[in-house]
Amino acid sequence: MDSIAASSITNRGWEAMPQELAILSWAYAKLSVRNLPLMNAISASAMKKINESTPQNITNLAWAWASLGIKNLTLMYAIAAAFLKRLPLANPQNLSNTAWAFAKLSLHVVPLFSAISAASQLTITVFDPLGLVNLAWSWATCRVGDCPLFQAISSASLARLP
């Protein structure tokens, strides 16, 4: 079935929409199924449509590749560029999960991390606890000391702790 799915994507038997590609990637990652032919086919198709994607779809793609430990630099840099273009539409979960995905793959893309930091600081009070943790973990994993972001995370965390 997986080779058929990969063949369908690459042979244009299936003109998948960005959301379908993101969900398919997410499903395989959620089940820890590392099917490289399928993931490579999804990557090739996703890069053609990445600029049509929503922040959620872009985040799901990044999360899937990071969760599976697939360091596809071409795709990840395309994801970073597309996410930066869609940044004003991103919600806190998109911000923290995208940072997490890049950190998990040890990819500190400076423009992406800078933009996520700035956007996160503006909306830090609406981040859920996992989002705050993911932000802190991402910056620490990449060994980036971002004092303004960490101050915002500290303030938001202190406001929630008993």
The two three-digit tokens of residue 14, written as one number: 């299936």
Nearest to 119 by CA among 158, 79, 146, 159: 146
Per-residue pLDDT averaged across 16-34, rounded?
92
The CA distances from residue 86 to 14, 40, 140, in Å, are 26, 24, 25
State percent of the chain over pLDDT 70: 91
Q: What is the pLDDT of residues 57-108, one digit of tens each?
A: 999 999 999 999 999 999 999 999 999 999 999 999 999 999 999 999 999 9
Using CB atoms within 10 A of its CB, is residue 74 exposed (0-12), middle (13-18) or buried (19+)?
Answer: exposed
Distance CA 126, CA 78 (A): 28
Given this model, what pLDDT does residue 5 score?
52
pTM confidence score: 0.88
Q: Parse the chain into domains and list their residue ranges.
A: 1-78, 90-162
Distance CA 78, CA 123 (A): 25
Distance CA 112, CA 119 (A): 11
CB count, 10 Å around CB of 84? 16
